[in-house]
Structure 1
C-alpha cells in the first residue's frame, strides 16, 4: 500500500518551517514514487499563489482538490493548510477575473448610414434609426451595468426598458441617459439637440449642467456658450424621417419642400419665384413621396414634373 503524507507537513515544507524529522519524511515520500514529485509541484503552485496561512477553517473541497486528495489520503482531523490554500486560490482567480472583466476597455462596432436612413437593432432589443450620413458605435453585448453607445450625426432611438441598466448615448462631449423611451438626437456639429417623443431623458454636459426632458420637450447644448437650454419641441416634424408622419399648419411651401426632402431623402424643387403666398395645412401619415406630392399639387393647384431624378412643383397659373 502506498505510504501517505500529512498535508500540514507539506505546508511547513513550503514555508521553510518544517523540522528535521518532517524534512526527512518529505524527502522519503518523494523518493518512493515519481508521481509524488508531480503532486508536490501542483501543491506548491497552489501554495505560492495563495500565500495563505489561515488556521482552524474547514472549507468546501474544490473539484480540483478532490482529484488530488485521494492520492495523498490527507488526515482531516488536523488544520488543513493546503486545502485552505486551494480555496483561497479559487477565490483569488475569480476575483481577478471579475476585476479584469469589469475594467477592460469596451470594444465598439461601427454602423453607418449614407444617403438613406438605416435601422440597427442592438443586443438588448433597442432599435436605432440613423438619419443620413450618421455613425453609430456600439458594443456587441452590453456586459456592464449600463448600455453605452456613441453617436455622430442624427438618430431616432426606441430604447428597451431596463431600470437596472440605463442606456447612455455619448454625443460631442454630452451624455443622454434613459431607462426606456423614444427620442431623437442631432449631433452633426459641435452642438447637440435632444427631442423626446416619449418617456423621460436626462441630458447633461456635466453633473452641474444637466436637464430632465419629458415627452414634447427638447434641449440644445451650444458648445460656444457651453450651455444647455430646454424648450418645447419647435419643429413638429423632427421625428418624420423615422415615423413618416408629417404635419403642416399654414406652413410656407419652401419649408414644406425642405422638410419632405429631409424626410424622404428626395430632391423636390420649386420652379420659378414668388412662392411667398403658397402655404400648406395638412398631415401625411405613411404616404409615399408620390402620394404626398399629389396631395400638395391638388391642394395648391400645382403640377408635378419629373426631371433628372428631381420632382419639380410648377404653378398652374401665373401669380399676380
Structure 2
C-alpha cells in the first residue's frame, strides 16, 4: 500500500469499524478489501489492532487534541482538515499512527500460538511463514509460536502431516510429535503421531533428517522409515510402500501386492474399517492404480476381479466375504 492510499483508507477503515460510514463509504471500503489478498490481510491487521486497543483501553490513555495535532503535523494534512470535529472517530484516527506502530505487539499478543486445523472436505494445505508447505490429514493439528522463523523454526504436530520444508541452513526446522523431535534443514517427509498409542512414524521422501527420542537419535536418508514406541525405542527400516501419503495424494498404486496389504492401504486412504472373512482372499495379489477414486469404486473392482461380496455394517465398517484369486 502506497502512502497516499494509506492516508486515505486508514481513516475510512477506522470509521467503518465504528459503523460510522455512509452507504457510499461502506461500499468503497468493502470494494477495497476485495481488490487484493494484500488488502484483505491489511484490513484484518487493522481490525485486530483496533479490537486489541479497545480491549486494553488504550484509547482512554490518549490525549485526543495532542495526538490529533501530531497526526496532522506528521501526515501534512491540509489546514481545512483541522476543522473537523474530534469525536470518537477522530480519537481513533489520531491514535492510529501510534497503534500501527504497536501493531505487532497487539496482533501477536492475541496470537501467542498459531493453530492450524485440518477441516473435512478441504485440501488442508498450509504455507508457513518460511514458505514451508504442510498438508494436514483429517483431524490433525499443527501449532507454532509467534516467534516462528525469527531465530528458529519449531512446530508441534498432533496427528499426521506431510511436510515439504524450505531449506535454511541457519534455521533447522524442528517438529515435536508425541515424544519425538524431528530436525530437518530442507526436505519432504510424512510424519504421523498416534494420539492413542503414542507411537510415532516418519517416512522420508527426499533429503536427510535427524529423528530423536529420549532413547537416542538416528539419521534418515531418502526412502527410510522410522518408528518410535511410547517408551522412546526406535526402529529404522526401508520403506517400500508407495501409498504412505495416499491421504494427501488421493492415489493408490499396487504392483503384485498381497490383498492383505492392499486392504490396509485402502483402510488408511478412506479411513474405513475392513474385515476379511476368507483368509484365502488375503493371499491374492493386485496390480492396479487408483487416482481420486471413490471407496465404492475401489470395492467394485475387487468384486469384478475376485468375486467378493461386501456387507456394510455401518458407514465406517465393511465386511468382505469370499473371494477367489482365479476370478
TM-score, structure 1 normalization: 0.55
Q: Is the 8 A contact 1:221 1:228 kept in 2?
A: yes
Indicate yes or no: 2:226 matched with 1:219.
Answer: yes
Q: For 1:220-259, what per-residue CA distance to the aligned partner results, in whole angstroms no more than 9, with x for missing partners?
A: 22232x3323211264422221223323344443442332
| Secondary structure, counterpart of 1:259 in structure 2 | helix
Counterpart in the other structure of 1:279: 284
The size of the alignment, in residue pairs, is 213
Q: Is the 8 A contact 1:162 1:179 kept in 2?
A: yes
Counterpart in the other structure of 1:118: 124
Alpha-carbon distance between aligned partners in 1 of 2:147 and 2:291, rounded to the nearest angstrom: 33
Q: Which protein is bigger by CA-based radius of gyration? A: 1
CA-CA distance at 1:160 after TM superposition: 1.9
Counterpart in the other structure of 2:204: 196
Q: For 1:259-306, what per-residue CA distance to the aligned partner results, in whole angstroms no more than 9, with x for missing partners?
A: 212212346565x54544552322425241244334333332346687
Which of 259, 284, 294 does residue 253 from structure 1 map onto?
259
Q: 1:204 and 1:297, CA in 2 relative to 1: closer, same or farther beyond 3 A?
A: same
Indicate yes or no: 2:247 matched with 1:241.
Answer: yes
Counterpart in the other structure of 2:100: none
CA-CA distance at 1:110 after TM superposition: 1.6
Q: 1:154 and 1:205, CA in 2 relative to 1: closer, same or farther beyond 3 A?
A: same
Counterpart in the other structure of 1:296: 302
RMSD: 3.6
Counterpart in the other structure of 2:99: none
Alpha-carbon distance between aligned partners in 1 of 2:180 and 2:323, rounded to the nearest angstrom: 49
CA-CA distance at 1:114 after TM superposition: 6.4
Q: Is the 8 A contact 1:111 1:137 kept in 2?
A: yes
| Secondary structure, counterpart of 1:145 in structure 2 | coil
Gaps of 5+ in 1: 1-103
CA-CA distance at 1:162 after TM superposition: 2.2
Q: Is the 8 A contact 1:245 1:283 kept in 2?
A: no
